[in-house]
Amino acid sequence: MYIKEIAVFLVVFLAAKYFWRKRRFFYLASKIPRSNFDFSWKGIYEFLTADSKKIFEQIYGSVKGMDGIAKTWLGPVLFVIANDPEDVKIIWNSKECYDKPYFVKFPGIYEGSLFGSIHAWQTHRKILDPYFGNQKLKNFLPIFDEKSKVLTRKVGEMLGKGEFDVFHYMTALTLETILNAMELNVDIQNLEVKVRDLTIKGLERASKVVTKRIVSFWLHPDFIYKRTKYFVAEMKAKSHSAFTYVDDVIENIRQNIDSGEEVNIKPTSFMRALLDSKHDLPREEIVDEIRTLLIAVNTSALAMSSSLLLLAMHKDAQNKIIAELHDVLGKSPNAPFIDFEKLSQLQYTEMVINETMRLMPVVPFVARRVENEVAVTKGYIIPADANVFVPIYGIHRNKSIWGEDADQFRPERFEKENFQKIHPYAFIPFTKGPRMCLGYRYAMALMKVQLANFLMQYEVDTSLKYEELEFELNITLNVCQGLRISIKERK
């Protein structure tokens, strides 16, 4: 007869014990201002039932115009939002914030350097770091040039056919380029169109499902998620993605090595470094690292496609970039090999890419986990066990940093005399600090080579209007209308 009373007492006792143990956590959290997120029942319901477009709009709206730090709760999970570049600098350089939140592993890549634990990041970074220096980059330029010229020829099939989404072509290029750099000769660009698109769209569909899981806290526990339609959809999407091809290739190589057969992989390749027996990396870590590299380099496809779209919308910038390309590379539509010296001379091209990544950062939001308390500006202290959320998209469009024209496309803001006035942590497309993207030089070089080859051959146009662009969040930032351009031979 006392079972009900005992149950109530236990619940109250355990709750009181929890809040007492976490009293410092809740005290520090209470001192942090609330974000602009709508915490009404209606606001919470709309967020949890929103599609990817509404999710992006609500997240950006909750931080737009804010300075300093703010807080929001996703169910029981505390997020501290860092809007000030100085706070971002402190957080990203603090050893207390090197780790990633548990939900960052939802894409299914557990021990790569991008999503993995501190141990995995430190171990893999030490192995791969020598392969991303300037000297090694010079060795990759012939691969970049060859593959970008293949893409330029492939895109020619769309001459006179109206608008098309250039992202699928760029994705095939970036995937094939990184695989060739690893000596994994997977010819994605020349796959049959249906197979190629299925391979690429598999990753896109999986990303949508993972994004839905991240913002739906009740789907975080595996034992719940694996009993939902979302898990089935994610597994189906991944089974037809580029991961499938790569996993098969890796498995064949490992079997050959285990059986003592000679493996034809150059000592200078990423793959050889990961497979080197002296590192003794488990198969799962090697697979996760290569998947990480695929995802990381695929963000370059999105940035290149976005650059072409913005150039199609801004003909003055397109004319300026062509003038620079003609000055550095000559006026022949068939661009010569772009060596390291010529690459460094494409300064306006780099400004266009940077301005594109400012306005349309591929990864619009980044999260870190706080291991122990971290003091930031204005006297605030972020409590241990909180998650720090850095709204890259919001910082990149903050008018107090970039001026009243922050939402406009103006590559000239990256001229040296203009950019040196900007806080170094106000432009963070590759993040910064110790966990900064390892391959940022690789990505920038690939983008410059591809844009040069593409624009020397084709003039780009689009019916889309810049002010009408809408965005959705699928882990990466996507344009709802698609990255649609049309091309014609450049005269």
Residues annotated within the binding site for heme are: 437
The partner residues of 435 in beta bridges, in order of sequence, read: none
Which phi-psi region, left, alpha or beta, contains residue 235 (left: φ > 0; alpha: ψ -120 to 50)?
Answer: alpha
65: left (phi over 0), alpha (psi -120 to 50) or beta: left
Contact 79, 73 (CB under 8 A): yes
Supply the angle between the helices 242-258 and 193-215 in degrees, to the nearest 10: 100
- Residue ranges of the binding site: 437
Q: How many C-beta neighbours within 10 Å does residue 154 have?
A: 16
Residue count of the chain, please give it. 491
Instruction: Assess contact for 141 and 449: CB atoms under 8 A.
Output: yes
Spatial separation of the C-alpha atoms in residues 370 and 219, rounded to whole Å? 22
Does residue 350 contact residue 37 with C-beta atoms inside 8 Å? no
Closest CA to 382 of 30, 66, 80, 4: 80
Judge whether 456 and 432 are in contact, CB under 8 Å.
no
Please count the CA atoms within 13 angstroms of the CA of 78 that sit on its side-chain side: 21
Q: At a CB cut-off of 8 Å and minimum separation 6, what does 482 contact?
A: 165, 167
Maximum Cα interatomic distance, the chain, rounded to a whole number of Å: 92
Q: Among 168, 163, 220, which residue's Cα sits nearest to residue 189?
A: 168
Interaxial angle between packed helices 167-181 and 193-215, expressed in degrees from 0 to 180 and rounded to the nearest 10 = 90
**DSSP-assigned letter for residue 34:** B
Are residues 368 and 342 in contact, defined by beta-carbon separation less than 8 angstroms? no
Bridge partner residues of 486 (DSSP): 461
Between CA 105 and CA 101 the distance in angstroms is 8
